[in-house]
Structure formats: structure tokens, C-alpha cells
């Protein structure tokens, strides 16, 4: 460590100690602690410390509210380089990392802007597209900062290229490679990757409220990872506000109108969403990092001005048992009731196809599915209960058709990941 930096760190420790003990101090004490000449101290007082030092006669005090620096930030503030001193809270990143982080942040802000615009009718798709770009850029920034080679390579070890540029990992590859992401966050990201692919050529604004919780979790998870890796300087908090809503929820007639206009596409997507959620474990499905769930409860004060802010999020983990019990009592009044339904947990053929296709990364449509159950002999042709392997399928007497189990999906995935097996089933005409 050079002498100048050592003295700067000493001055930081000096100010922290004085602030902690609420002590006044003189110029001479600063000189004694740091070894600086009086001219140097006076220069710093006039140019660098004037914002957080309070003068009291011939003494000084540190302003509690204005001295908010961590040591690295303080060192940058004291730098002779304008880039550092003018913005000390900006972390020092390489040019490439900084560019990727800023791209990630800007895309996330645009995603929220799209979602919150009152006249936007295709908000979920626009939000999903921009957030996937944001997440991809954030993952690339993390890999770049950690020295990870995040580009696709050919079998001979050379880089794959697109229009002369190295082909970087797509988001699905990034989350597979990045072990620090927990399974809940991965489940949320995989949900949106598949959803984005499915709604690319569909007009389905009716799903907006259906996936609101997943959208909110996607954004909050992004913010948490962004700030944990690249500090609160890049936080989205200063750029975003809670939107003002006119309706507490969409009315039934609005849903019915949109569903009639988009019936086939809506039902296909709704099937995908329902099946994906059903196949999550309770631990992941109930985790706010997969789908953020919150109740907006009026905040009551004794006086008109008693509430500092109109809206605030309360972290349940920070509440004591009495506070949590009171909150849960209020929430219990407005919780939805889950109604048991027939055939719960079973899947229609299209739902099986969607799940298998997402897992194996290959086309798997309903015709292919028919060849699969015929190839593996899990049921007979036609519609009859006799001869159906109940581990994989079940005959539905009232509807005169078949439903399938998660075991069937798992079986197909285990078989069709093999390219040779995939081709055999695909071409089967038995």
C-alpha cells in the first residue's frame, strides 16, 4: 500500500471514530493522526470534506447524515481523478462489466415501464422479453467479472460465431452454469423463458393478471442479485415507483370477452401455466422468489399526517410473533379458497407435449405424443379403460378420453433426451 492511500485510510478511520463517539476535533488532531501538513488538511477541508464537516468555532464535527461512505467510496471521493471523486459511490468495474451491468439495469427499467403503462395491452410479453435480456446481461456481467468464459465453443475448441461475433451463452445456459442461483429463482426464470417462446406469436393480454406474481418475483430477484454483486449504486429503487391502479382486479366480464377473442391461444397458454405450477414442489411454489404474493392493506394512522409514506412493503421475517399473528388474521379475511377438482394432477396430451418439449429441447407435438404411447405400449388405440397402464395414463369415463400422469412425462423425458431413441419414436408407424 502506498503512503498516500495509507493516510487516506487513516483519515477515514479517524472520522469514523469521532462520529461514533460524537466528538469534536481540531485541524491539529487531523494532522497528528494522518501526518499531513496543515496546508494539505486545509485543502481537503475546502474541497473534499466541506460536505460532511460541521464547523464549530475552531473545532469540527462529522455530520451524521452526510457521512455515509464505506472506506472504498471514501478513497474514491478523495481521488484527484474527477471520474472517481465526482461519483464515489459508483463501483470500479472494467469497461466490459460496466457496459453489461448498465445494459441489464436499463433493460429492467424498460421492462417495468412497459408493464406499468396504462394503455399497454401486451404487457406480459414486452415485460418478459426485456427482463430476459436484462437477466442475460446481468449473468454475462457476473461471468465477465469472475473471469468465466461464457461463450459457446465448437468441438475443436474454437468459438462459435454469429455475424463475426462470439456467440454468448443464452439465459437457459447461464442459469445452468451459475451454481449460486437457488432452485426457486431458476424455476421462475425457466417459467419465463418457456412463456416468452410460447407467446411470441400470440396476442394474449388476458394472462397479465394470471402471472403477475411471477413477474414481480422475476424483478425482485433481479434487483437482489444486481445489488449484491455490483452494489446498491445500480439499484432500481430510485428509478421505479408503485403504479396507481384504477381497479383492484379485472372484472369477470373482461376476462370472458378476451377469452372469446383469444380462446385457443389463451387456453394453450393457460394449460402451460397450470401444468408448470402443478409440477413445482410446495416449497418452490409457495416461495416469494418464485411468485411474489402480497396483500395491499390500508395503513391506518391516528392522525392525517401520522403515516410517513403511503405504501410500504413489510418483510414478514422482521415481525415479532404478535405482529405476525395480527397481520395473518387480517389476511385470512381475504384469502382465496382452493376448491377440489376432479383429475387434479393429471395432464392432457397438449400439456404433456409442452412439458416434454421444454425439458428435452426438441419438438414434441400431439401427433408425436400419439406415436410415443403407441411405441411404448402404455395404452391401446381407441377409447377404453382396458389395457391402460395406470402408472402413465388413466381413462376418463365421463369425457371418453385419456389423461396422463407426471410419471409419463418423466418417462418420456428420460427416453427422448437420447437422439437415437427420439428418432425411433418420431418415425414409428406401428
- Which ranges in 200-236 belong to alpha helices (H)? 212-230
Long-range residue pairs from 113-120, CB within 8 A, at least 24 positions apart, any chain = 115/215, 116/243
Instruction: Give the pLDDT of residue 250.
Output: 45
| 402 touches 393 (CB < 8 A) | yes
Residues 6+ apart with CB under 8 A from 322: none
Strands 393-396 and 165-166 turn out to be unpaired
Q: pLDDT digit string (tens) for 77-126?
A: 888 765 555 666 677 788 899 999 999 999 999 998 888 887 777 788 88
Nearest CA to 129 out of 150, 151, 114 is that of: 114
Q: Domains in the chain, start-ordered, CATH in brackets? A: 3-85 (1.10.10), 95-285 (no CATH), 349-426 (no CATH)
Give the chain's mean pLDDT: 81
Alpha carbon 173 to chain centroid, angstroms: 16
| 347 touches 355 (CB < 8 A) | yes
CA distance 364 to 408: 14
CA distance 293 to 289: 10
**Phi, psi angles (nearest 5°) of residue 78:** -85, 0
Q: Return per-residue pLDDT of the chain as tens, 430 residues.
A: 588 889 999 999 999 999 988 899 999 999 999 999 999 999 999 988 988 999 998 899 999 888 888 888 888 888 876 555 566 667 778 889 999 999 999 999 999 888 888 777 778 888 999 999 999 999 999 999 999 999 999 999 899 998 888 999 999 999 999 999 999 999 999 999 988 888 776 656 567 777 888 998 999 899 999 989 998 888 887 555 545 444 444 445 444 544 444 455 566 677 778 888 888 888 898 888 888 776 555 555 555 444 455 555 565 656 667 766 766 665 555 444 444 445 566 888 888 988 998 889 888 888 888 889 888 988 887 766 677 888 888 887 776 778 888 889 999 999 999 988 999 888 887 7
| 348 touches 408 (CB < 8 A) | no
Q: Nine-digit cell at 236?
A: 432500481
Amino acid at each position: 500500500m502506498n503512503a498516500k492511500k495509507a493516510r487516506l485510510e487513516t483519515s477515514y478511520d479517524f472520522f469514523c471514530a469521532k462520529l461514533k463517539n460524537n466528538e469534536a476535533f481540531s485541524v491539529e488532531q487531523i494532522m497528528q493522526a494522518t501526518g499531513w501538513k496543515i496546508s494539505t488538511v486545509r485543502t481537503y477541508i475546502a474541497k473534499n470534506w466541506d460536505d460532511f464537516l460541521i464547523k464549530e468555532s475552531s473545532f469540527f464535527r462529522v455530520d451524521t447524515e452526510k457521512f455515509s461512505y464505506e472506506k472504498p467510496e471514501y478513497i474514491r471521493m478523495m481521488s484527484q481523478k474527477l471520474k472517481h471523486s465526482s461519483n464515489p459511490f459508483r463501483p470500479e468495474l472494467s469497461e466490459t462489466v460496466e457496459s453489461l451491468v448498465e445494459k441489464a439495469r436499463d433493460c429492467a427499467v424498460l421492462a417495468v415501464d412497459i408493464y406499468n403503462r396504462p394503455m399497454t395491452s401486451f404487457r406480459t410479453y414486452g415485460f418478459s422479453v426485456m427482463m430476459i435480456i436484462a437477466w442475460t446481461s446481468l449473468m454475462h456481467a457476473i461471468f465477465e467479472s469472475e473471469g468465466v468464459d461464457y461463450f459457446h465453443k465448437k468441438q475443436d475448441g474454437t468459438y462459435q460465431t454469429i455475424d463475426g461475433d462470439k456467440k454468448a451463452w443464452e439465459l437457459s445456459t447461464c442459469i445452468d452454469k451459475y451454481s449460486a442461483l437457488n432452485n426457486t429463482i431458476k424455476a421462475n426464470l425457466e417459467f419465463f423463458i418457456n412463456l416468452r417462446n410460447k407467446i411470441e406469436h400470440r396476442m394474449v393480454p388476458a394472462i397479465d393478471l394470471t402471472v403477475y406474481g411471477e413477474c414481480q418475483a422475476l424483478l425482485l430477484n433481479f434487483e437482489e442479485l444486481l445489488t449484491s454483486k455490483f452494489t446498491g449504486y445500480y439499484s432500481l429503487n430510485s428509478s421505479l415507483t408503485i403504479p396507481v391502479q384504477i381497479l383492484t382486479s379485472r372484472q369477470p366480464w373482461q376476462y370472458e370477452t378476451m377469452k372469446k377473442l383469444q380462446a385457443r391461444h389463451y387456453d394453450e397458454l393457460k394449460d402451460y401455466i397450470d401444468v408448470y405450477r402443478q409440477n413445482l414442489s410446495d416449497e418452490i411454489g409457495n416461495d416469494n422468489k418464485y411468485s411474489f404474493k402480497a396483500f395491499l392493506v390500508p395503513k391506518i394512522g391516528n392522525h392525517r399526517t401520522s403515516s410517513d409514506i403511503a405504501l410500504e412493503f413489510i418483510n414478514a421475517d422482521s415481525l415479532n410473533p404478535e405482529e405476525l399473528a395480527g397481520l395473518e388474521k387480517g389476511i385470512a379475511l381475504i384469502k382465496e379458497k382452493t376448491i377440489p377438482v376432479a383429475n387434479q394432477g393429471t395432464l392432457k396430451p397438449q400439456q404433456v407435449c409442452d412439458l416434454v418439449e421444454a425439458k428435452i429441447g426438441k419438438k414434441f407435438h400431439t401427433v408425436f405424443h400419439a406415436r410415443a404411447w403407441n411405441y411404448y405400449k402404455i395404452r391401446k388405440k381407441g377409447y377404453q379403460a382396458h389395457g391402460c397402464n395406470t402408472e402413465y395414463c388413466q381413462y376418463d369415463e365421463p369425457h371418453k378420453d385419456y389423461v396422463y400422469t407426471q410419471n409419463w412425462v418423466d418417462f418420456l423425458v428420460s427416453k427422448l433426451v437420447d437422439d437415437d431413441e427420439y428418432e425411433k419414436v418420431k418415425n414409428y408407424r406401428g
